């Protein structure tokens, strides 16, 4: 009996795990918790819908609109597909985004309000950028770092008033962290989630649709600008922001628990002349724009200098902030040619069949001649405009240069025409294509300023 049991243990990895063994060749010695690089494949399971995970105010409306799959984001159910694969899937949703206008249920971007006499001082202490330069009714993309310089959130920050900010969260629990910070610091502020839920309106016809909803004044909102308005008689904040790099908007509905249906159906009706479609967040578009997804491309062990966010760490911010000492030390090490991390984010183009859906794993990367994996892909997709697969990926620091040749190891469903799953790749510039709304890094590059540090 014992012999049979021991043999079963020996056979199990080959029979069950196979390629799912963790690759030790990828150096993750600078992380406490390594990225799980097992190639376990889709491992399909049915999502349990229960009261343990929150349903946003728009959840039932998304289901009504055809949502057939979801993930969990900020402890809420998040729609991630409306058009089924046999009908065109995410790529058909993408067509609506680039030709017409789309609405996204992004209520998972929970809104954490910081309000009070010390609101600006508190916000300036927890973000790396200079909060004093953000005027009322303007916003910024910001990052918050822990004391070791790791990125714990990269929200859009809205300044509603002199004494009020909203953090529109990415996927991590920032409220508890900020409350903990203030227990020790004692700023005169309140910190709490509020009943505000956004939807995104994205696509080339987004401005026309928004003008139908809010009047011509909405056309004058600058990038990251805000305005107050009403939908179906209910108060909202409108921002010119989004997850695409293109011109688009977010509508933040106040008292969303009460009025979600009123906003949703009003936008649907207004969108009919513009061929509006409800879709999931378009990761193919945000990858092309170089927009990061927290938890997928970055986490609390990722330094801004590793992931194209060096511009978020200004050299001239005099005020202290959490992580400043560590980040300044890291910059000194980089200036001296001694990076304190093993891997850095790059953009790559790669071969194989068209990647037309979310990847199940962090695909592995080797050097140009194959061999043992040295890096991994975080966000891959096929770009119809560029007519190639593109991805954000982490590679060893010495392989970061544009033009570097690599090998990406694909799952069998994306194999090349000859059946090969090891395909050629090349490091390219990020973003992969110009954005309608370029970020600070892109604008600086256009002026000849190097933000690579």
pLDDT of residue 67: 98
Q: In angstroms, how far is CA 369 from the centroid of its own chain?
A: 32
Distance (Å) of CA 104 to CA 171, 252, 266, 427: 16, 12, 14, 31
Residues facing residue 149 across a β-bridge = none
Q: Residue 71: beta bridge partners?
A: 78
pTM for the whole thing? Answer: 0.93
Spans in the chain with pLDDT lower than 70 = 1-19, 436-453
pLDDT in tens, 173-207: 999 999 999 999 999 999 999 999 999 999 999 99
The position carrying tokens 């004692």 is 186
Q: What is the pLDDT of residue 6?
A: 52
Strands 276-278 and 190-193: unpaired
CA distances from 237 to 195, 250, 313 (A): 13, 8, 28
Is the peptide bond preceding residue 254 cis, with omega within 30 degrees of 0?
A: no
Where would I find the H helices in 30-88? 59-64
Please report the pLDDT score of residue 130 as a whole number. 98
Say how far apart CA 70 and CA 338 lie, in whole Å.
42
Domains defined along the chain, listed by start: 287-446 (3.30.1360.120)
Q: Could you please report the per-residue DSSP string of 430-447?
A: SSSS--SS--HHHHHHHT
| Percent of all residues in the chain with a pLDDT value above 90, rounded to a whole number | 89
In 127-273, which ranges are continuous DSSP H helix?
A: 174-185, 206-214, 256-271
- Tell me the residue ranges of DSSP E strands in 211-356: 226-231, 234-239, 248-254, 276-278, 343-350
User: CB-hemisphere CA count at 13 Å for 414?
Assistant: 24
pLDDT at 452: 39
115 neighbors 217 (Cβ within 8 angstroms): no
Q: How far apart are CA 208 and CA 433, in angstroms?
A: 24
C-alpha span between 70 and 72 (Å, rounded)? 7
Which residue, among 195, 217, 28, 172, has the nearest Cα to 107 in the 3D structure? 195
């Amino acid at each position: 009996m014992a012999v049979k049991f021991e043999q079963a243990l020996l056979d199990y990895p080959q029979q069950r795990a196979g390629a799912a063994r963790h690759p030790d060749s990828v150096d993750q010695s600078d992380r406490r918790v390594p990225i799980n690089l097992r190639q376990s494949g889709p491992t399909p399971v049915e999502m349990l819908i229960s009261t343990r995970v929150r349903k946003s105010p728009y959840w039932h409306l998304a289901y009504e609109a055809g949502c057939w799959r979801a993930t969990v984001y900020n402890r809420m159910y998040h729609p991630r597909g409306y058009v089924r694969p046999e009908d065109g899937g995410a790529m058909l949703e993408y067509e609506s985004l680039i030709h017409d206008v789309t609405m996204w249920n992004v209520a998972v971007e929970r809104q954490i309000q910081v309000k009070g006499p010390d609101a600006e001082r508190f916000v300036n202490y927890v973000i790396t950028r200079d909060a004093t330069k953000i005027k009322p009714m303007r916003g910024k993309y910001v990052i918050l770092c822990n004391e070791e310089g790791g990125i714990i959130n990269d929200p859009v920050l809205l300044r509603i008033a002199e004494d009020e900010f909203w953090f529109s969260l990415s996927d991590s629990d920032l409220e508890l962290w900020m409350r903990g910070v203030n227990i020790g610091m004692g700023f005169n502020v309140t910190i709490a989630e509020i009943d505000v839920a956004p939807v995104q309106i994205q696509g080339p016809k987004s401005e026309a649709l928004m003008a139908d909803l809010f009047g011509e004044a909405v056309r004058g909102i600058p990038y990251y600008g805000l305005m107050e308005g009403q939908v179906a008689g209910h108060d909202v904040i409108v921002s010119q922001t989004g997850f695409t790099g293109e011109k688009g908007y977010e509508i933040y509905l106040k008292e969303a628990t009460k009025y979600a249906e009123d906003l949703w159906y009003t936008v649907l009706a207004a969108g009919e002349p513009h061929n509006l479609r409800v879709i999931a967040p378009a990761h193919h578009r945000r990858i092309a724009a170089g927009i990061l997804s927290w938890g997928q491309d970055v986490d609390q062990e990722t330094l801004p200098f590793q992931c194209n966010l060096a511009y978020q760490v200004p050299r001239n911010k005099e005020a202290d902030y959490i992580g400043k000492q560590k980040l300044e030390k890291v910059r000194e090490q980089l200036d001296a040619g001694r990076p304190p991390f093993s891997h850095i984010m790059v953009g790559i183009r790669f071969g194989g069949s068209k990647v037309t859906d979310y990847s199940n794993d962090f695909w592995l990367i080797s050097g140009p001649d194959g061999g043992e994996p040295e890096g991994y892909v975080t966000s891959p997709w096929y770009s119809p405009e560029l007519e190639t697969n593109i991805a954000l990926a982490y590679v060893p620091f010495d392989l970061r240069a544009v033009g570097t040749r690599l090998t990406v190891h694909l799952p069998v469903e994306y194999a090349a025409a000859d059946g090969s799953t090891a395909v050629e790749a090349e490091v390219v510039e990020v973003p992969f294509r110009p954005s309608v709304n370029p970020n600070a890094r892109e604008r600086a590059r256009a002026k000849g300023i190097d933000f690579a540090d």
